[in-house]
């Protein structure tokens, strides 16, 4: 498509007028009409409505990640903190200035952009220390029974039982920091010792406990064990701005967990729920408090339970009033559930491919989701080039803008990852590194229950030894009394003990018997808290 400085025709003028906002706005690019790019017809999105959520979609290689980067760096420049979930590991370049070159200058000239390379303030995070970044952890107690039951895919009865387990742990001062704490409490409550603890409020069946324990084990196999622990991450860290007033871009590095969608979605659920619980209702502001971008959003919803989808839908619907905007970045709108799509006000749709009947069906479905447009969207969406998209956003009054084919601006930061050494230096140079880097395993439910178990074992062993001593003392006294009554006559020969009596009375046999008895006691006790629990 060529570039023209001539005024577009009446229809294109009407489209461009729909993006002529009076207040602050982010620059997306220039209008494409009838095969021509018009740099004076600027396509923009108002800053105050960026808490209304959005979608960036398109086939692989069409420029979705660069669009995400373009919007994120402008938000940062306007003092809005940003969160990016970086699945592929190619967004870290937002912290470094972009490289000037022929292609960048060409794109800037086409869209009327005054391009200059610059980086933006960033923090890099990693889930529980998996991959590069400041570790992000949450405690099981902080996660809560309702959210955890959704992640573990428990049914309503099992969810209620998990709530009882948390209630018991809270009442007894058993802190659930990591998954081994939760496992220890569940095992204790179905043991002979612990069964009575919940009897008055419904109890915990062995079958339900088994389901919960198996779900925890499966969850750990996805790598969730490292995510739960201390120090717990304070989500308020995501709301910070730099000293120069720019919003800090928080980049969650996730390439190491892109094959673990449950772990990825778990973090997002917890983070959104935590923010939602802490932030006050503010309504519409001059600019958002925070904007989330979830790259590769299909991982968020892949294999998700109905309860999870309901939770995400409710969160997306309500968190807008807290000043937080959410953008989903994925290949096709069908990756996002319909109830979530219904909450989205902004749309940047990159090219779609129609190589198969399913692709053609998806293309038609996508076209039907756009407002009425003078474009032949099926033709436009299959003919867009890299870095071009069909756009519709909400105006300052909250009404949808006209659908506009757009050639997007070039990001000013580095379009690609920074090298590993620079990333490592940025992480270790962060003021948050010393606060969150080292995991802390302090005394919690597991240690307390283990100590009680050990104390019970030692008490049982002491009682057994005392009883054995009492028996030996009584037996000795009886023998002495009997020996006095049956004193042998002079010259009588003392009867030697039998072979069995010699073996039983030997020190070696006594030591062996005590060892076997102690080990048996330990195995029985361990079965109440360990092995038998796993068998269940």
371: left (phi over 0), alpha (psi -120 to 50) or beta: beta
DSSP-derived letter for residue 95 is: G
Is the separation of the CB atoms in 384 and 350 below 8 Å? yes
> Taking each helix axis from N to C terminus, what angle separates 206-221 and 179-189, rounded to the nearest 10 degrees?
160
Distance CA 347, CA 328 (A): 10
Give the per-residue pLDDT at 530: 22
DSSP H stretches of helix in 405-485: 420-428, 433-436, 445-485
Is the separation of the CB atoms in 208 and 219 below 8 Å? no
The residue with greater pLDDT, 241 or 196, is 241
Give the per-residue pLDDT at 504: 43
Give the per-residue pLDDT at 521: 38
Distance CA 44, CA 286 (A): 16
Q: What is the pLDDT of residues 67-114, one digit of tens each?
A: 999 999 999 999 999 999 888 888 999 999 999 999 999 999 999 999
Look at residues 440, 413, 437 and name the one whose alpha carbon lies nearest to residue 125. 437
Q: Strand, coil or helix: what is 394?
A: strand
- Which residues is 408 bridged to in the sheet? 29
Confidence of residue 491 (pLDDT cuts 50, 70, 90): low
Residues in CB range of 158: below 8 A, 6 or more apart:
149, 208, 211, 212
> Mean pLDDT over residues 510-531, rounded?
33
Rounded (5°) CA angle 187-193-197: 80
Confidence of residue 517 (pLDDT cuts 50, 70, 90): very low
Give the per-residue pLDDT at 513: 42
pTM score > 0.95 for this model? no
2 pLDDT more than 90:
no
CA atoms within a 13 Å half-sphere pointing along the CA-CB vector of 251 = 32
Three-state SS annotation for 14-29? HHHHCCCCCCCEEEEE
Q: What is the pLDDT of residues 458-483, one digit of tens each?
A: 766 777 777 778 888 878 878 877 77
Burial code (b: 16+ CB inside 10 Å, e: under 16) for 441-456 equals eeebbbbbbeeebeee
Q: Strand, coil or helix: what is 285?
A: coil
Three-state SS annotation for 98-111? CCCCHHHHHHHHHH
Distance CA 358, CA 29 (A): 31
Look at residues 321, 134, 157, 339 and name the one whose alpha carbon lies nearest to residue 231. 134
Confidence of residue 273 (pLDDT cuts 50, 70, 90): confident
DSSP H stretches of helix in 49-155: 64-77, 102-111, 140-143, 145-151
Distance CA 149, CA 307 (A): 9
Task: Supply the mean pLDDT for the chain.
Answer: 84
Distance CA 13, CA 355 (A): 34
């Amino acid at each position: 498509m060529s570039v023209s400085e001539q005024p577009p025709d009446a229809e294109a003028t009407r489209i461009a007028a729909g993006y002529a906002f009076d207040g602050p706005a982010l620059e997306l690019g220039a209008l494409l009409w009838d095969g021509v790019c018009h740099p004076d017809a600027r396509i923009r999105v108002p800053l105050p409505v960026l808490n209304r959520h959005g979608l960036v979609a398109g086939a692989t290689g069409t420029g979705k990640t660069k669009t995400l980067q373009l919007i994120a760096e402008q938000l940062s420049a306007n003092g809005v903190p940003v969160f990016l979930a970086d699945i592929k590991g190619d967004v870290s370049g937002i912290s470094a200035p972009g490289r000037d070159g022929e292609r960048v200058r060409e794109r800037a000239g086409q869209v009327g952009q005054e391009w200059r390379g610059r980086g933006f303030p960033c923090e890099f995070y990693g889930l529980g220390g998996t991959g590069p970044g400041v570790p992000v952890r949450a405690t099981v107690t902080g996660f809560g029974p309702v959210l955890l039951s959704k992640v573990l895919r428990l049914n309503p009865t099992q969810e209620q039982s998990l709530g009882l387990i948390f209630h018991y742990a809270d009442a007894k001062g058993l802190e659930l920091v990591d998954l081994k704490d939760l496992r220890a409490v569940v095992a204790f409550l179905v043991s002979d010792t612990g069964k009575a603890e919940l009897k008055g409020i419904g109890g915990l069946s062995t079958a339900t406990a088994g389901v919960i324990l198996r779900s925890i084990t499966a969850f750990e196999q996805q790598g969730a064990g490292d995510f739960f622990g201390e120090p717990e991450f304070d989500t308020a860290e995501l709301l910070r701005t730099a000293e120069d007033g720019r919003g800090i871009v928080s980049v969650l590095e996730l390439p190491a967990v892109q094959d673990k969608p449950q772990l990825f979605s778990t973090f997002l659920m917890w983070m959104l729920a935590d923010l939602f619980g802490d932030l006050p209702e503010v309504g519409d502001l001059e600019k958002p408090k925070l904007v989330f971008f979830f790259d590769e959003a299909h991982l968020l919803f892949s294999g998700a339970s109905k309860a999870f989808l309901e939770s995400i839908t409710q969160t997306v619907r309500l968190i807008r009033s807290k000043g937080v905007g959410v953008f989903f970045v994925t290949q096709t709108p069908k990756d996002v559930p319909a109830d979530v799509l219904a909450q989205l006000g902004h749309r940047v749709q990159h090219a779609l491919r129609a190589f198969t009947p399913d692709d053609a069906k998806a293309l038609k479905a996508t076209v039907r989701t756009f407002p009425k447009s003078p474009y032949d969207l099926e033709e436009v969406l299959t003919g867009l080039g890299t870095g071009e998209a069909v756009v519709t956003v909400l105006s300052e009054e909250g009404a949808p803008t006209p659908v506009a084919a757009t050639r997007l601006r070039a990001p000013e930061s580095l379009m690609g990852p920074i090298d590993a050494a620079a990333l490592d230096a940025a992480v270790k140079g962060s003021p948050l590194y010393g606060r969150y880097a080292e995991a802390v395993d302090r005394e919690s439910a597991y240690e307390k229950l283990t100590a009680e178990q050990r104390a019970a074992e030692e008490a049982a062993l002491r009682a057994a030894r005392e009883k054995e001593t009492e028996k030996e003392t009584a037996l000795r006294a009886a023998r002495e009394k009997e020996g006095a009554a049956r004193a042998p006559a002079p010259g009588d020969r003392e009867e030697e003990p039998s072979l069995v009596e010699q073996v039983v009375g030997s020190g070696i046999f006594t030591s062996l018997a005590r060892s076997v008895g102690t080990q048996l006691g330990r195995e029985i006790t361990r079965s109440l808290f360990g092995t038998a629990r796993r068998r269940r």
